[in-house]
Structure 1
Amino acid sequence: MTVLHLADEGEAADLAAFLSRLLHYDRGAAVRLQAAGTALAVFGRPPSFEVLAIRAVRLAKPYENGLDVTLDVTVSAGELLESVDESAATAVVPEAVTGPPWAGVLPPRGGWQPVPGLPAPDALRAMVGAGIAEFRSRTQELAPERRTRTELDRIGREIWSRAVGDTHLPVRAVHAAQSLGFLRAGAEPALLSCGAWLRLRTPYGSIAVRRAGLGALDVSVR
């Protein structure tokens, strides 16, 4: 049994909240865990947003049972959530699962460069609110016979694929950051790029997206 000793109760609570939000969008969600020393990265992909969500977690000490160098495994998000003990600030790593395709395609670890043009946090939140309002308005205006899943998805893609300001970041990345609890009040987000990847980073987590889509041929598989 591999036990993760988190830095404190707050880290355990934030990890549990992140996993709960992922499971809200996908009850069968998997997460890829990568850890070295006292740093743990948790990767997930909420299907509604088509982005990679990354939550960094601080560990109090390296994990037990001989895994003292690195940890890299894909597990059930639900089983990991069940193992989180907030009062003890621990979590047990579940048995590995067969990872979904996205789990083999992760953003680079280094080489990120700042990208200018990201609007202020309040403007980002307003952008998401406007997108939600527009989606509701446009779908409510549809005649009943046109209110199909295909048409709803088309409207959603049109709205959430728009660029944020003068950047190439799609609005869906900001929507995901807000929905997953990364874009909290007081958080100062930054936009970074590395190759084909864009990353919206906040103190509470990051959203990464490929400009060419996750299925592009120039992926880095790890």
Structure 2
Amino acid sequence: MPAMLTLANPQVREDLATFLGRAGRIEDSGLRLQEVPGGVACWVPVLRPAGLLTDSPLVVGVRGIPARIESTEADDFVGDRVDILVPMRGMLDRLARTPNSEQEALRLALPVERPHESWTGVTPPLSGWQPTAELSSDILIHVAEDGIAEVGERAGGGLGQLLAEEIRTNTWTRALPEMARKKAPSITSPSDHAIAPTPLPPAGAAFAAHALGFLKSGETGQLSEAPGWWRIAFPAGQVLIRRR
């Protein structure tokens, strides 16, 4: 019997279909479904290194939904909670079908395939996050749209894959502009001298938040740091960036 995803209500199904539709336009890859307290975390890759020698950051988006997963397969568990990777396309196909009843709409049989993807091998810590700043969604939207236009202009025209990848990497590895930082914590050293603000994540974080629909004009995102990672939390979801 396949693993089952049970959603809390029809609106969750619609929201999940929208979120995965956005993610599938970026990368038709895998979807990580992880049981967490109160629901299920949906992890999707947005940017990742094309190889060992590239400087592209690993950027993933996470959206939590009120749902639960049932599985009888031991391999689907990490500890006592389900944590699996399923094909994105398979999930989109299931969500696109017209259900025959409300009960059928809320229970999705998950794909049986369990692909292996390298981005799932590194997981951010669950604790130890330190808030460092608030970021302006308006500035992040501007950064994302400018970057998308730049990549489209420079990487078009039939360039080879390696050159196009270099252009994308150069665009999305640039640090976010300092103007994105709306509010930094007031921290002083023992000698009462202000400590310089911590570095900001790469522009790829803005691209991820924009592409996944997390950015809304007038809102802010809470930037936090943990060893090796940045996290930007928005009302609609989170973007996690592995520091290189």
1:163: Cα distance to partner?
0.8
1:39 alignment partner AA = G
Q: SS of the residue aligned with 1:170?
A: coil
1:107: Cα distance to partner?
1.2
Call closer, same or farther: CA 1:134–1:100 in 2, change over 3 Å. Answer: closer
Report which structure shows greater RCO (CA 8 Å, sep ≥6): 2
2:231 corresponds in structure 1 to 199
1:47: Cα distance to partner?
4.5
2:24 corresponds in structure 1 to 23
C-alpha contact (below 8 Å) 1:41/1:56 kept by paired residues: yes
* Range that drifts further, 119-128 or 183-192: 183-192
Distance in 2 (alpha carbons) for counterparts of 1:7 and 1:187: 27
Q: 1:40-189 alignment to 2 at 5 Å?
A: 40-47=40-47, 50-59=58-67, 62-64=68-70, 70-84=81-95, 88-116=105-133, 118-138=134-154, 147-166=159-178, 167-185=199-217, 187-189=219-221
C-alpha contact (below 8 Å) 1:168/1:211 kept by paired residues: no
Call closer, same or farther: CA 1:184–1:90 in 2, change over 3 Å. Answer: farther
Segments of structure 1 that go 5 or more residues without pairing to the other structure are 213-222
C-alpha contact (below 8 Å) 1:2/1:92 kept by paired residues: yes
Distance in 1 (alpha carbons) for counterparts of 2:145 and 2:70: 44
Distance in 1 (alpha carbons) for counterparts of 2:12 and 2:34: 16
Call closer, same or farther: CA 1:65–1:131 in 2, change over 3 Å. Answer: closer
Q: SS of the residue aligned with 1:181?
A: coil
C-alpha contact (below 8 Å) 2:33/2:40 kept by paired residues: yes
Distance in 2 (alpha carbons) for counterparts of 1:186 and 1:168: 20
Q: Please, what TM-score do these two structures have when normalized by structure 1?
A: 0.77
Distance in 2 (alpha carbons) for counterparts of 1:25 and 1:103: 17
1:136: Cα distance to partner?
4.5
Structure with bigger gyration radius = 2
C-alpha contact (below 8 Å) 1:35/1:41 kept by paired residues: yes
Deviation by residue 1:191-220 (Cα, 9 ceiling, x = unmatched): 1111110012112121111111xxxxxxxx
1:217 corresponds in structure 2 to none
Q: SS of the residue aligned with 1:13?
A: helix
1:99 alignment partner AA = H
Distance in 1 (alpha carbons) for counterparts of 2:140 and 2:149: 14
Q: SS of the residue aligned with 1:150?
A: helix
1:37: Cα distance to partner?
5.3
Q: Please, what TM-score do these two structures have when normalized by structure 2?
A: 0.71
Q: SS of the residue aligned with 2:163?
A: helix
C-alpha contact (below 8 Å) 1:3/1:90 kept by paired residues: yes
What is the aligned-residue RMSD (CA, Å)?
A: 2.9
Segments of structure 2 that go 5 or more residues without pairing to the other structure are 49-56, 179-198
Identical aligned pairs, as a percentage?
A: 28
